[in-house]
Amino acid sequence: MTSIIISSHGGKTCHMTVFEVLCRVKHRGNLLALSERHPSMRVYTWCNRVNEILEVKVGDPGEYGEARRELAKVATIVGESEEGDIHLIESTCFCTKDNSVGLNIEDLPVLMVQPEVMRGGWEYYRLILFRHEDFAEVMRRLEARGFTVEVLKKSGVRGSLAGCILEADSIFSSLTGKQMDALMRAYTRGYYRLPRGADIQEIARAERVKRTTFQEHLKKGENKIIERIIPYMRLYSGRSRDAAELTSTKGKLMDDD
């Protein structure tokens, strides 16, 4: 778990333990209600409080038209583009305290790792925090605003904080919805356990899809993740070797003494 010691202006030091929280939030936002009506829709949002970038992935082309109309009710659409089932929209910021987690906690020492993900009537957030009492305050504020909050995971951050923040989007952004779905279904049914809980044929049969189709999505997804992970593994293994060599060198110096 990563620990940080920060010196304040008064000269006092504060010891902080870095941890992350994965949670999902439900509120009364228009797009959130839309994602509940269309479970196959995924909306990824980046916001700087002036403009918003939305990446909308849809299973049915008609869903995008409805999503665009809902967005136009609350914001000005500045530009848009599309590639297959992925639509990119730039709009003015439409955040309010009734539909935004960020606006309710922006004065707290909390890092919100973008993008926010909207699907199935929920918004999914990844938060980096430094004190447990700050997370308690996050929960208090959101619940007071009428938000429903479910904590999915809370764990310590190991290693580099920068690496922790950067890696997730770099690794998963190239996956298609079908590839991600195949990976999640394989994991849920025990494909990655040892021994395996199910093979590809059994999973495909249970999911009522063709084995060849499921296998193609799964293997393409696995290949993309490995391709994205390898550079980080090389960096990490190099750093580990450097640390090991440094430790070995220090040992030899001490032996020489």
What is the secondary structure of 29-57 as a DSSP string? -HHHHHHHH-TT-EEEEEE-SSEEEEEEE
Answer whether residue 239 is part of any domain. yes
pLDDT of residue 143: 96
Angstrom distance (rounded) from CA 189 to CA 85: 27
Identify the top-confidence range among 61-65, 152-156, 216-220: 216-220
Q: Residue 125: pLDDT band by 50, 70, 90 thresholds? A: very high
| CB contact set of 57 (below 8 Å; sequence gap of 6+) | 41, 42, 43, 44, 85, 86, 87, 177
- Domain range for 32: 3-7+15-158
Residues 77 and 148 in one domain: yes
Residues 179 and 85 in one domain: no
pLDDT of residue 8: 45
Q: Which two tokens stand for residue 155?
A: 């764990």
Residues 154 and 198 in one domain: no
Domain boundary among 96, 126, 158: 158
Residue-wise pLDDT for 96-123, tens only, equals 999 999 999 999 999 998 889 898 999 9
Residues 143 and 235 in one domain: no
Angstrom distance (rounded) from CA 81 to CA 79: 7
Residues 112 and 139 in one domain: yes
pLDDT of residue 164: 62
Answer whether residue 38 is part of any domain. yes
Residues 149 and 189 in one domain: no
Return contacts of 197-206, CB within 8 angstroms, 24+ apart. Answer: none
Angstrom distance (rounded) from CA 183 to CA 49: 34
Answer whether residue 118 is part of any domain. yes
Query: Is pLDDT of 11 > 60?
Result: no
Query: Is pLDDT of 244 > 70?
Result: no
SS3 content of the chain, % helix, strand, coil (to 5): 45, 25, 30
Residues 136 and 31 in one domain: yes
Residues 116 and 186 in one domain: no
Residue-wise pLDDT for 43-81, tens only, equals 889 998 888 988 888 877 778 888 888 888 878 888 888
For the chain, the domain total comes to 2
- Asked whether 48 and 22 are in contact (CB, 8 A), the reply is no
- Report which of residues 7 and 28 the model is more confident about: 28
Domain boundary among 129, 158, 187: 158
Residues 138 and 239 in one domain: no
pTM above 0.75, yes or no: no
DSSP-based three-state secondary structure for 120 = coil
Residues 59 and 178 in one domain: no
Residue-wise pLDDT for 179-207, tens only, equals 989 999 999 999 999 999 999 999 999 99
Answer whether residue 107 is part of any domain. yes
Domain boundary among 127, 158, 189: 158
Residue-wise pLDDT for 14-45, tens only, equals 566 788 899 999 998 878 888 888 888 888 89
Q: Residue 9: pLDDT band by 50, 70, 90 thresholds? A: very low
